[in-house]
Structure formats: C-alpha cells, structure tokens
C-alpha cells in the first residue's frame, strides 16, 4: 500500500509524543563465531566484550591504530561464542574488510549485510504496538539493550532493545524478503512512518553523534565525548595506545553541544563558530530542534571553549547570531 509521508516536524512529534517508524534500511550485519570469538572481538572493539551476557547489546566503537573512529556499532551476543555486529550501512564493506584483515585462526566471520533489512519502532507507545506486531512470534518487545530472536518465513528475525531516538522502542532485523510484511504490520498496529530527516533531528536532540558527520577516522572517542564506551582497563585493543597517550597529554578539543540564543535562521553543518572574534570551529551536525523550537548543533571546540555557558557566535550567511555551550542531551525525555 502507498505510504503518505508528512513533514519532518510531524514525523518528529509522532516519535516524541506517540510512536513512529523512523527508518527502514539495509544496515550492515556481520556474524562472528568461534570459541575465541569473544577474546578476538575484545581486541577489535573499545568495549569489554567479556563482560557481555548472552542476549545483550553493547554500544561500542571500532578504531584505527591512531585511535580514530572507523565506525560506531552495536555488538549483540547471540550465544556463548557467537556475536552479531550491526554497523552503519555506508561502512559495511570497510568494517568487514578491517575485521578480515585482523582475523585470527578459528574465527568464523560472515558478512550478511545484503541479506537483512531493518525497521525501527520508537516512541512512548512502542510497547503497545509491539503486542500486535509480534503476536504469534512468541516474542515481546525486548528490554533495553537486550536481544531476542525467532524464526520467520525466510530465516532468523532479531528483535533488539535499541534505538536512535532516546525514546522507548525496538529495532527489528529480518531477511530482506520479510521486510514488507513487517512494515505493513507496523502500519496496521498504528505506527506512523517517519523519514531520515526526522530521525536526524531526533538523534541530534539527544546529542547522539552520527558517523561520517560527528565521528571520523581523524577524531577519537575521547574527543567525541564517548569515553564511557571505552574500557582502557580491559587489556589491549586496536587504538588503545593512542587513547592512553591522548588522555595523559590532555584532550585538546571536544565535541560540544551548542544552542542558539535567539530566533533566526537554523544553523547547518559547516557553519563557522566564533569566539573572541576568531573562528574556533564549525558545526558537524546542526539544525532546528522541533521539540525545543530553537537551533542546536554539535561541533568540535578547543577544550577551554567547550565548558557549559561559554558564549559563542554563529556565522550564518555573513551575519553573527549569539549562541552558548549547553549540556547534552538538548532534549530530556519526560
């Protein structure tokens, strides 16, 4: 059936106030198995894989030797010696190649990215919708950061207690052939389709960084404010040496939340940021917050300018607009 998409503002409010499907995509999926899988993954990712229990999820990062971010991803432990990595679609081939380059003997590494599609249901009523959507599957909406699975018509379907909006909800990963039935099932349950623009505004309000915009191989998770997802005490992993050195020397710049102080044109990625009559950075992500009705954005600023309430000026088409540094997230769910 045809789907009528509303504007970004309506889609955004559907997720914050009701419930919405905000994304349908072919995210990257990599399956890893073997009795040394956990130990090997621990050397490839920043989080402590050994601390994961079965059927749980861990947001973590894959780094290069310099500590730069190749990708941020979610690792799911599907069994004692089995893992599912869900990665950004644009990075699927690069991530798989990086894993393959560092592969240890006895590890089974499989790229299933072309075989899966993903649908996300987010919002305060996600649990209610899940009851109808998942009826007959033997599963219910998974708790936050947990994983469930069942056999669908064309293979295993995974239910993940994760999302990119800051709201309750779940992500469903299924064989590509099954995605149409799940999309229609969500519509019948009362979910509202949402586009990528709404998803971007939702994640920005929560201060969630986006790979390719806020995260890159040139910047570390410590600079990006993701140190909580880096376990420097777990042992060796790719990029650890560079992060230890950065921490000892002091972080020179930080990914900073910035809020416009007056009404005006919305900020956009690439707009220059000034302090003390000097350009000190530019927005990585920026736009109008539908929930707050003001311009917000993320930018790397020198450490001394990243402190809360620091006054800034945003250059928008040659005119300066006052702004200030604020605490993340911009929007706090009730």
Hunting for tokens 């690439």 — which residue is that? 270
pLDDT of residue 136: 87
The list of the chain residues with pLDDT below 70 reads 1-6, 20-26, 333-334
**For residue range 228-280, what is the model confidence (pLDDT) as tens digits?**
999 999 999 999 999 999 999 999 999 999 999 999 999 999 999 999 899 99
In a domain, 138, yes or no: yes
Instruction: Report whether 329 contacts 255 (CB < 8 A).
Output: no
CATH code at 309? 2.40.30.110
In a domain, 238, yes or no: no
188, 258: one domain: no
CATH code at 35? 3.30.1360.120
Please list the residues that pair with 226 across neighbouring strands: none
Residue after which a domain boundary falls, among 141, 174, 202: 202
23, 82: one domain: yes
180, 39: one domain: yes
Count the domains in the chain.
2
pLDDT of residue 3: 39
175, 261: one domain: no
Residue after which a domain boundary falls, among 202, 224, 242: 202
In a domain, 244, yes or no: no
**For residue range 208-226, what is the model confidence (pLDDT) as tens digits?**
999 999 999 999 999 999 9
Cβ-proximal residues to 262 (8 Å cutoff; 6+ apart), any chain: 321, 322
In a domain, 245, yes or no: no
Q: Which domain holds residue 149?
A: 8-202
How many other CB atoms are found less than 10 A from the CB of residue 190?
13
């Amino acid at each position: 059936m045809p789907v009528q998409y509303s504007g970004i503002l309506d889609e955004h409010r559907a997720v914050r106030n009701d419930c919405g499907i905000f994304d349908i995509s072919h995210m990257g999926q990599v399956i890893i198995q073997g009795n040394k899988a956990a130990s090997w993954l621990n050397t490839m990712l920043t989080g402590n894989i050994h601390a994961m229990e079965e059927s749980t999820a861990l947001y973590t990062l894959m780094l290069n030797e310099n500590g730069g971010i190749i990708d941020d991803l979610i690792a799911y432990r599907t069994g004692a010696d089995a893992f599912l990595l869900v990665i950004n679609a644009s990075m699927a081939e690069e991530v798989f190649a990086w894993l393959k380059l560092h592969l240890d003997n006895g590890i089974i590494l499989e790229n299933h990215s072309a075989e899966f599609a993903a649908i996300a249901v987010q919002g305060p009523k996600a649990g209610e919708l899940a009851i109808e959507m998942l009826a007959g599957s033997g599963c219910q909406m998974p708790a936050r950061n947990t994983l469930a699975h069942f056999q669908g018509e064309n293979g295993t379907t995974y239910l993940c207690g994760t999302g990119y909006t800051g709201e309750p909800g779940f992500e469903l990963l299924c064989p590509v052939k099954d995605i149409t039935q799940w999309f229609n099932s969500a519509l019948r349950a009362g979910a509202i389709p949402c586009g990528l623009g709404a998803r971007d505004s939702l994640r920005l309000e929560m201060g969630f960084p986006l790979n390719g915009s806020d995260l890159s191989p040139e910047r570390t998770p410590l600079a990006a404010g993701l140190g909580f997802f880096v376990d420097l005490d777990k042992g060796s992993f790719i990029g650890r040496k560079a992060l230890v050195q950065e921490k000892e020397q002091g972080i020179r710049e930080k990914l900073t939340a910035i809020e416009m102080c007056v009404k005006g044109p919305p900020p956009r990625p690439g707009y220059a940021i000034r302090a003390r009559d000097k350009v000190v950075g530019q927005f990585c992500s920026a736009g109008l917050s539908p929930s707050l009705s003001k311009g917000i954005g993320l930018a790397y600023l020198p450490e001394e300018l990243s402190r809360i309430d620091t006054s800034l000026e945003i250059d928008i088409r040659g005119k300066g607009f006052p702004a200030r540094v604020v605490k993340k997230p911009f929007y706090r769910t009730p």
